Amino acid sequence: MINNEQNSFDHDVVVVGGGPAGSTAATLLAQYGHKVLLLESGRHPRFHIGESMLPFSEPIIQRLGVDWSAGNLSKNGAVFMDEATEQRMYFPLSVHRKTYQIERAPFDQMLFENAAKHGVETHQQEKVLDVSCQADDVSIVSDKSRYRCRYLIDATGRSALMGRKDKGIKRIENLGKFAVYTHFENIQPGEEADELFRSGNIYVPVVDIGWIWIIPLAERRLSVGLVVQKARPKDCDAEELLRRYLAASPLLSRLTTGAEQFAPVRVEADFSYTNQSRYGVRYACCGDAAGFLDPVFSSGVFLALTSAARVADRVHFGLTEGWEADPELHAEDDCHYLLGFNTMRLFVERFYHSNIVHNLFFEADRAPELKAQIAQLLAGDLWVDDNKLQQSLLAGRRSVS
Ligand SMILES: Cc1cc2nc3c(=O)[nH]c(=O)nc-3n(C[C@H](O)[C@H](O)[C@H](O)COP(=O)(O)OP(=O)(O)OC[C@H]3O[C@@H](n4cnc5c(N)ncnc54)[C@H](O)[C@@H]3O)c2cc1C
């Protein structure tokens, strides 16, 4: 039952940012019966990188009532490889839950439109410029209007509205520095290419300056990116660097022979940060606005969906029980979030700094239990108490906050 005592508010909740996190939080709160406004500065469909999903997002997708298989390629698992040493290891991920390689523009649009279907008031091309979260209310100023509501959810992605306002963004050093990527279409038939599209596996070749993603998409398209951890060679720009590494990879050379590059080469930098201001009086952050990790283990959308659902459930509790102004409303859920985020963070740090791919992944066939534990982490099955690998990662460093 919703507490309507304060019906002078324009909305119960304003969600800023209409990516996966924002659309999820808004939809779930509308399902509970709250009056929700979702503000997005762009217009869907808009391009977004981040196509490789994790199976443990599935329960949230089910709660949203959308079909994420539509138009997307079913993903079986992940293959880590080193072409120089000819080592590779496959981890099956979609064992009990299914997942997909998705094109983000239609996926993000579907989630945004789904919010509207559930009764959320949605505005596009409206950018929030400032917010003020007080004990009594939240005021929001956008480039089109002003709003007063009971609660704010910051789902602004790497713009991190609240984190930057409160100077809570702390870089995590020494992970990937930048990514350079593009897309190919018309991947030609052939044993390797056919197997790639049949399995939907993500391939992750490790290279001397970082790693490459090879993500098959529907209609025989391929997303290819290079994440660079070392300093860029002085004699070339990011685009030339991508071309060099594509040409140096025998697998990618074979896969892209006869294919056409159909998207511009794009670069994204400023990777990996925590937000020390994830929640406070009448606000909470979710998705990339709460923290962002180098994408080597494809954890971004999974963390966005799971953190958004958790925030939405707690905001519903706060609004119905009259706890919404409590600055500690999200304290317990934040521990839950940090368990997932820190597990992935420590795993990514091991990827860069202790050569986990060569030392552990490639050896995993010799230890089936270890292989299952790695696969469990790669699938996003993080809130468990029996994964010894996770426990040893967390024992190495208990918390980042
Ligand atoms: C190179 C790279 C590769 C990646 N690969 C993967 C991958 O393979 N798998 C994966 O799961 N993740 C991947 N990710 C991460 C993934 O893309 C993000 O984690 C995911 O998009 C987070 O969702 P979100 O809703 O939090 O943020 P976003 O999807 O970024 O959405 C935020 C939205 O907020 C809007 N917004 C921002 N500021 C304002 C404002 N002031 N007012 C109104 N609206 C605003 C933006 O327009 C945007 O639509 C990758 C990321 C990068 C950079």
Q: Residue 342 belongs to a domain with what CATH number?
A: 3.50.50.60
Shortest-distance Cα residue to atom 15 of ligand 1? 300
Same domain flag for 192 and 52: no
Contacts of 370 (CB under 8 A, 6+ apart): 360, 364, 389
Do 298 and 237 have their domain in common? Answer: no
Question: What pLDDT score was predicted for residue 231?
Answer: 78
Question: Tokens 């990618």 — which residue?
Answer: 252
How many angstroms separate the alpha carbon of residue 303 from the centre of ligand 1? 11
User: Would you place residue 148 in the very low, low, confident or very high pLDDT band (cuts 50, 70, 90)?
Assistant: very high
Strands 77-82 and 11-16: unpaired
Give the pLDDT band (50/70/90) at residue 72: very high
User: Sign of the CA dihedral 293, 361, 375, 219?
Assistant: positive
Contact between 123 and 40 (Cβ < 8 Å): yes
87 part of a folded domain: no
Same domain, 315 and 198: no
Residue 168 to residue 285: CA distance in whole angstroms: 12
> Could you tell me the CATH number of the domain that includes residue 229?
3.30.9.100
| 146-154 and 202-207 strand pairing | unpaired
Report DSSP state, residue 360. Answer: I
pLDDT value at 196 more than 90: yes
Asked whether residue 246 is assigned to any structural domain, the reply reads yes
- Which of 48, 144, 175 is the pocket-test mutation for ligand 1 (most atoms within 8 Å of CB)? 48
**Which residue among 250, 269, 288 closes a domain?**
269
Query: For residue 6, what pLDDT is reported?
Result: 47
pLDDT, tens digit, 9 for 90 and up, residues 238-291: 999 999 999 999 999 999 999 999 999 999 997 899 999 999 999 999 999 999
> Is residue 265 domain-shared with residue 283, that is, in the same domain?
no
Are 186 and 160 members of one domain? Answer: no
Higher pLDDT, 94 or 8: 94
Residues 147 and 287 occupy one common structural domain = yes
Please report whether residue 6 resides in a domain: no
Is the pLDDT at 64 greater than 60? The verdict is yes
Q: What is the pTM of this model?
A: 0.96
Instruction: Give the model's pLDDT for residue 397.
Output: 62
The sign of the dihedral angle between the CA atoms of 338, 223, 160, 123 is: negative
Mean pLDDT of the chain: 95
197/285 same-domain check: no
Checking if the pLDDT of 400 tops 60, the result is no
Domain boundary among 246, 269, 292: 269
Whether 32 and 129 share a structural domain: yes
Question: What pLDDT score was predicted for residue 7?
Answer: 54
Cα 5 to middle of ligand 1, angstroms: 35
CA of 159 to the centre of ligand 1 (A): 9
Tell me the β-bridge partners of 37: 14, 121
- The token duo for 33 is 């019966």
Is 290 part of any domain?
Answer: yes
pLDDT, tens digit (0-9, with 9 covering 90-100), for 103-113: 999 999 999 99
Residue 114: inside a domain, yes or no? yes
In a domain, 107, yes or no: yes
Q: Is the pLDDT of residue 86 over 80?
A: yes
State which ligand 1 atom lies nearest to the alpha carbon of 158.
30
331 plus 240 within the same structural domain = no
**CA-nearest residue, atom 4 of ligand 1:** 50
Total number of domains in the chain: 2
Q: Which domain holds residue 199?
A: 178-269
Q: Measuring from each residue's beta carbon to the nearest atom of ligand 1, which residues come in under 6 Å?
A: 16-22, 39-42, 48-53, 127-128, 155-157, 159, 161, 179, 225, 268, 287-289, 295, 298, 300-302, 304
Single out the residue of 250, 346, 289, 53 nearest to residue 165, CA to CA: 289
**Which atom of ligand 1 lies at the shortest distance from residue 215's CA?**
8
288 and 264 within one domain = no
**242 and 284 co-located in one domain:** no
State the closest ligand 1 atom to the C-alpha of 301, by its place in the atom list counted from 1.
11
DSSP state of 101: E
Whether 167 and 283 map to the same domain: the answer is: yes
Mean pLDDT within 283-300: 97
Q: In degrees rounded to 5, what are phi and psi of residue 310?
A: -65, -45
Element (H, E) at 379: helix 368-379
pLDDT of residue 401: 37
Tell me how far the alpha carbon of residue 288 lies from the centroid of ligand 1, in angstroms.
Answer: 6
**389, part of any domain:** no
* Pocket residue to mutate for ligand 1, from 23, 24, 40, most atoms within 8 A of Cβ: 40
Check residue 232 and give its pLDDT. Answer: 77
Identify whether 398 is part of a domain. Answer: no
Domain boundary among 210, 243, 269: 269
Nearest CA to 346 among 304, 389, 285, 306?
389
